[in-house]
Amino acid sequence: MIRSEILRNIAPILRDELVVCNIGLPSQEMHLIDDQPTNFYMLGTMGLSSSIGLGVALAQDKTVISIDGDGSVLTNFGTLPTIANNVANNYILLIIDNGSYGSTGDQPTYAGQKTSLTAVARACGCENVIECKAEDTGEVLQAAIDSKQMTIIVAKCESGNIKVPVITKDPVVIRERFMQAVKS
Amino acid sequence: MTVSEKIVADLVANDVQFVTTVPCKQLAGVIDAVDKNPDIYHIPSNKEDEGMGLCAGAYMGGKRPAIIMQNTAIGVTINTLVTLTQYYRMPLPMLISYRGELREPVACQVEMAVHTKALLNQLNIPTYHFHKESDVDEFDEILKYTFMCNKPVAILTDASFWGGYGE
């Protein structure tokens, strides 16, 4: 199972939540599969999906899910201690770990080799860290939402991409639409 | 009222409730004052671009953010300033210690100081330079200006402003 199949499976769960979508293909795939005003699409700035999502979660009460990738978490490793030490129980970090930099041509990441992001997140002090198979992502995600506990999910999947168009929406439109959804 | 207390009072008066910091010796006093203020959620960052991501999120979540960092961070955060803060038109007051200016004891800090204003200028970031203690009087207006125009705005604060490097 590849990332786009996970996103297709969990789209009905994500629909009712605030979602910060990682740069590149994850945003483009979510945009294609189920565009919602509650989705914030990152058009640039690799690595910051988890930080943006945590900021949204700390600023208000609705559930926020950051969809991140193993490569992006490796880019912004400092995010995990910050998350661990600033607990927001309305926050879920969903790391789709396909062991590769998917948007740039599937170059292998260290997360697909010796480095376990699950172990790193735990070592950073994150309390609810769940590693799951791709097929179980929906069930684990729904349980995390229902638990109302800050949760880090590492969903292990295969690398691979589908062909998707780039997002041409204006960034200010994406941001304003998301902010209205936060307030509604 | 100390300069640090005045800065924090202005942040609170302008409804800035979410402040991220990356430390600098010159900023120790103001970071301490931010941390002690019950009206501000203080979230230390491990790197300044991470902090700008947190601030972007907090802004979209409905809280006014600010970042406190050293001028060396300009070298770290150009991509984030351009593709996140500016591209999505988000306000971000950046209180920056301007290391490498007069009274600086560490020579290496001058290497980034000579590029700081040029880089901010290249990025079209409105920039203010606090050199004398009384310059802090403008801080309140700078915050209002930042949230009026939805841009990142830089406030460079040098050693003379802080009453010395801490020597």
The shortest C-alpha distance from B12 to chain A (Å) reads 16
Residue A158 has pLDDT above 90, yes or no: yes
The pLDDT value recorded for residue A22 is 96
Q: Share the mean pLDDT of chain A.
A: 97
Residue B167 has pLDDT above 80, yes or no: no
Is there a contact between A136 and A79 (Cβ–Cβ < 8 Å)? no
A74 Cβ under 8 Å from any chain B Cβ: no
A45 → closest Cβ in B18, B65, B84:
B84
Number of domains in chain A: 1
The pLDDT value recorded for residue B87 is 98
Which chain B residue has its CA at the smallest distance from A63's CA? Answer: B61
Q: What is the pLDDT of residues A21-67, one digit of tens each?
A: 999 999 999 999 999 999 999 999 999 999 999 999 999 999 999 99
Cα–Cα dist B146/B61, whole Å: 18
Beta strands in A14-169 (DSSP E): 18-21, 39-41, 64-69, 91-97, 100-101, 107-108, 129-133, 151-156
Cα–Cα dist A47/A72, whole Å: 4
Domain segments of chain B as ranges: 3-108+140-157
A-chain CB neighbours of B59 within 8 Å are: 55, 59
Is there a contact between B62 and A59 (Cβ–Cβ < 8 Å)? yes
Residue A87 has pLDDT above 70, yes or no: yes
Split at pLDDT 50, 70, 90, the class of A69 is very high
The pLDDT value recorded for residue B160 is 96
- Entry pTM: 0.97
Q: Share the mean pLDDT of chain B.
A: 97
Split at pLDDT 50, 70, 90, the class of B166 is low
Is there a contact between B147 and B82 (Cβ–Cβ < 8 Å)? no
| Class of domain B3-108+140-157 (CATH, top level) | alpha beta
Cα–Cα dist B89/A50, whole Å: 20
A-chain CB neighbours of B41 within 8 Å are: 58
Which ipTM did the prediction report? 0.97
A180 Cβ under 8 Å from any chain B Cβ: no
In percent, the amount of chain B with pLDDT more than 70 equals 98
Interface A-B, measured as beta-carbon pairs within 8 A, has a size of 115
Among A58, A15, A32, CA closest to A162: A32
**Residue A103: domain span:** 3-183
Among B7, B6, B16, B56, CA closest to B155: B7
Cross-strand bridge partners of residue B130 = B157
Q: CB B58 to CB A58 under 8 A? A: yes
A82 → closest Cβ in B43, B58, B79:
B43
Q: What is the pLDDT of residues A122-154, one digit of tens each?
A: 999 999 999 999 999 999 999 999 999 999 999
Best of B69, B77, B88 to disrupt the A interface by mutation (most A CBs within 10 Å)? B88
Residue B165 has pLDDT above 80, yes or no: no
A43 Cβ under 8 Å from any chain B Cβ: yes
Which chain A residue has its CA at the smallest distance from B47's CA? Answer: A78
**Backbone φ/ψ region at A96: left (φ over 0), alpha (ψ -120 to 50), beta:** beta
Q: Could you tell me the CATH number of the domain that includes residue A23? A: 3.40.50.970
B-chain CB neighbours of A60 within 8 Å are: 61-63
Collapsing DSSP to helix, strand or coil, B103 comes out as coil
Residue A122 per-residue DSSP state: H
The pLDDT value recorded for residue A103 is 87
The pLDDT value recorded for residue B47 is 97
Cα–Cα dist B31/B68, whole Å: 8
Task: Report CA Rg, chain A.
Answer: 15
Q: CB A78 to CB B46 under 8 A? A: yes
Q: What is the pLDDT of residues B88-128, one digit of tens each?
A: 999 999 999 999 999 999 999 999 999 999 999 999 999 99
